[in-house]
Amino acid sequence: MVSVKNNDEHMVIFQPSGSRGRVKQGTTIAEASRKLGVELEGVCGGQATCGKCKVRIEDGYFERFGIDSSVEHLSPVEETEKQFFEKHGELEGYRLSCVTEIRGDVLIFVPEESRKGKQVVRKAATDRKIDVNPAVRHYYVEMLPATLEDTTGDWERLGMALEREHGLTGLTIDYLALLTLQETVRKGDWKVTASVWMGKEVVAVQPGRVEKSYGLAVDVGTTTVAAYLCELTSGELVATDSMMNPQVTFGEDVMSRITYAMAHEDGLKRMNDAIIEGLNRLAGQVATQAGIKRRDIVDWTIVGNTAMHHIYMNIYPEYIGKAPFPPALHAPIDVKAREMGLKISPGAYVHALPIEAGFVGADNVGVLIAEEPYKRDDFVLIIDIGTNGELVLGNKEKLISSSCATGPAFEGAHIKFGMRAAPGAIERVQIDPKTAEPRYKVIGKEEWSDVLKDMGARGICGSGIIDVVAQMYVAGLVLRNGRLNTELGHPRMRQGEEGWEYVLAWQDETSIGQDIVVNQSDIRAVQLAKGAMYAGAKLMMRRLGIEKLDRVILAGAFGSYVDSTQAMIMGLFPDCELEKVYAVGNAAGDGARIALLDVDKRRDANKYAREVEYIELAMEDDFEKEFAQAMYFPHMKDKFPHLEGWLPESQAAT
């Protein structure tokens, strides 16, 4: 992306969404954000007083391409803006969007608090039955106070009380818990609650009786990070939140992040710092939601693909990026949260789930223990759709897995009007196959667009993207090969700034002052993503020697909101009985939560992570050919008997 500088137009990129485009000299950042579909908060109407539109100016990105991007590319700070920051505390690199003009190429990071609309956590936790058998348990004890006749040490007193009252023996104590033990014991008047990890180590001591204990399960996706705060005695999910992975500024997919680590001396450190800082923030958010303190969290489980795993563990990811791709370790590992820089209860452990192979990491292990395909008789295909897609195929006899880079299209990135699942996002789309007129549903509104005109639409989220592409194909607006059908002469199909586009929502139905469209490059992004998944599934079926799928489970970023029929129509996976295709939400995150609540499942995770056989798709014969064929809707050659009546008649028979 080497841009030639032009005095009249400048390249602007907004992170973490990745939205980009050229704007005229003198455009304010706020104006540019609206033009590019990045909505910023702002209540003062451009008076530089509310500060809600503040953004951070990044200077790393353009430098990588030898282009100097810095404050000179913006209008200087003027009096009102200066007053705002003086009043509220200077923030290095921050500017107010409403008054700052763009005068050169800039990379802008929109902090969470400046983004309009609270994200609907589409990585929401699914309601699953989970045994409650946590790694950390609370034990209340009444110790015998020290006397002149018995000056036994406080730790020995606590140990004796835990043995006497709860039968616990052979315990050790965390070093930091030891350092504050004497204060704590006296604060509780010799009555304390000890948090014991795995029946082995006292990781925290609190004065008095503390009934509830808390643990955090986290799924670090390439693009989206989800956190689930659970109460460990009841197993109850008490708070959940998500954020963009702050590493997106270093690269949008796993390979670009690995490359970033290798190309920059402090690359790993920067990415690790970013995710750890983000995780601390997220932990603080769920703690606040639950009305507890971050230090009340006494256990933590974490999953992520192999690259995310290595980066959050602070392991240099070079070797997983080049043949023969061995990771530093497959095994699960328990590390003190503090050693990773995570700020919860000082003595708490993080349990990092094991990884499988290739980029099929701990996230997919989470999927395994959530869905337990190793207990099934029928052949199941589990598709975990994220920026890095993972596939598992098999049954209790044998399981194989593979991964492919799908890109973040289904997470709303790399799509012109793509957005996260937040109020204003189009989440459902139907297109009349006869008239090619759409109706859609927006998050936050009860009615569909054919009933309610004031939809306040802002963009399209993952489930909406699947719907709109499948429905455009069914309505003949998109051809099998993915090209927009420009010969229909439909009034919604038009030449836009970036080529042909289909208008999904007219300007007056939106809150962004412009039409929401789907253009050719959006369709291409979807084709690449779904083609990779489909080709992977095909090659895996060949490996196992099976002709048809008994069951397809859709897991991933868009959670349980995806319409499984639309997903099959656009060819995300091979044909399967429609009733046997369903979405389960964020199974990786659920797996992290299951491992948090039930230590036996940690053992399962380790066992099955080893047993699943990994297939390196890129090394399979015909991968390129299969991929090319799978780019078609729903596929160039394969039949879909279960979609009879759903596909356009001209093509269903093909």
Residue ranges that bind a second copy, judged by CB under 8 A? 146-148, 150-157, 173, 175-176, 178-179, 181-183, 186, 313-316, 318-319, 323-331, 333, 335-336, 339, 355, 357-358, 614, 616, 619
Between 85 and 316, CB nearer to a second copy: 316
Between 332 and 589, CB nearer to a second copy: 332
Between 259 and 314, CB nearer to a second copy: 314
Identity at 104, one-letter amino acid code: G
Dist CA 352 CA 303 (whole Å)? 6
Dist CA 307 CA 316 (whole Å)? 9
Contact 367, 587 (CB under 8 A): yes
Tell the smallest beta-carbon distance from residue 310 to a second copy (Å): 10
Tell the smallest beta-carbon distance from residue 276 to a second copy (Å): 14
Between 249 and 345, CB nearer to a second copy: 345
| Residue matched to tokens 């730790």 | 155
List CB contacts of 540: < 8 A, sequence separation 6 or more. Answer: 381, 391, 393, 400, 402, 615
Q: For the residues of 380-439, what is the DSSP string, one character each?
A: EEEEEESSEEEEEEE-SS-EEEEEEE--SGGGTTTSTTB--SSTTEEEEEEE-TTT--EE
The count of residues in the chain is 654
Between 37 and 321, CB nearer to a second copy: 321
- Asked whether the CA dihedral 39, 224, 252, 100 is positive or negative, the reply is positive
Tell the smallest beta-carbon distance from residue 314 to a second copy (Å): 6
Tell the smallest beta-carbon distance from residue 596 to a second copy (Å): 20
Looking from the CA of 273 toward its CB, the CA atoms found within 13 Å total 8
Dist CA 458 CA 504 (whole Å)? 11
Token pair belonging to 219: 């799924």
Tell the smallest beta-carbon distance from residue 233 to a second copy (Å): 28
Tell the smallest beta-carbon distance from residue 228 to a second copy (Å): 24
Tell the smallest beta-carbon distance from residue 69 to a second copy (Å): 33
Between 316 and 646, CB nearer to a second copy: 316
Tell the smallest beta-carbon distance from residue 396 to a second copy (Å): 24
Between 358 and 418, CB nearer to a second copy: 358
Between 183 and 624, CB nearer to a second copy: 183
Q: For the residues of 52-83, what is the DSSP string, one character each?
A: TTEEEEE-HHHHHTT---SGGGBPPP-HHHHH
Between 176 and 292, CB nearer to a second copy: 176
Dist CA 516 CA 255 (whole Å)? 31
Contact 34, 102 (CB under 8 A): no
Between 151 and 495, CB nearer to a second copy: 151
| Residue matched to tokens 């930091």 | 176
Closest CA to 135 of 210, 197, 195, 193: 197
Between 152 and 481, CB nearer to a second copy: 152
Token pair belonging to 54: 């503040």
Between 24 and 610, CB nearer to a second copy: 610
Between 155 and 534, CB nearer to a second copy: 155
Between 128 and 186, CB nearer to a second copy: 186
List CB contacts of 25: < 8 A, sequence separation 6 or more. Answer: 7, 8, 9, 10, 101, 102, 103
Q: Report which secondary-structure segment, H or E, holds 164.
A: helix 154-166
Tell the smallest beta-carbon distance from residue 493 to a second copy (Å): 48
Q: Report which secondary-structure segment, H or E, holds 555.
A: strand 551-556
Tell the smallest beta-carbon distance from residue 359 to a second copy (Å): 12
Dist CA 549 CA 541 (whole Å)? 8
Tell the smallest beta-carbon distance from residue 162 to a second copy (Å): 14
Tell the smallest beta-carbon distance from residue 122 to a second copy (Å): 32
Q: Compute how many other C-beta atoms are within 10 angstroms of the C-beta atom of residue 64.
A: 11
Pairing assessment for the beta strands 349-352 and 380-385 based on DSSP bridges: unpaired
Tell the smallest beta-carbon distance from residue 576 to a second copy (Å): 31
159-168: b or e for each residue (b if 16 or more CB lie within 10 Å)? bebbeeeeeb
Tell the smallest beta-carbon distance from residue 206 to a second copy (Å): 17
Between 155 and 473, CB nearer to a second copy: 155
Between vectors from CA 220 to CA 218 and to CA 226, what angle results, nearest 5°?
A: 55
Between 91 and 331, CB nearer to a second copy: 331
Dist CA 243 CA 224 (whole Å)? 6
Dist CA 376 CA 242 (whole Å)? 32
Q: For the residues of 267-307, what is the DSSP string, one character each?
A: HHHHHHHHHHHHHHHHHHHHHHHHT--GGGEEEEEEEE-HH
Tell the smallest beta-carbon distance from residue 535 to a second copy (Å): 20
Tell the smallest beta-carbon distance from residue 602 to a second copy (Å): 15
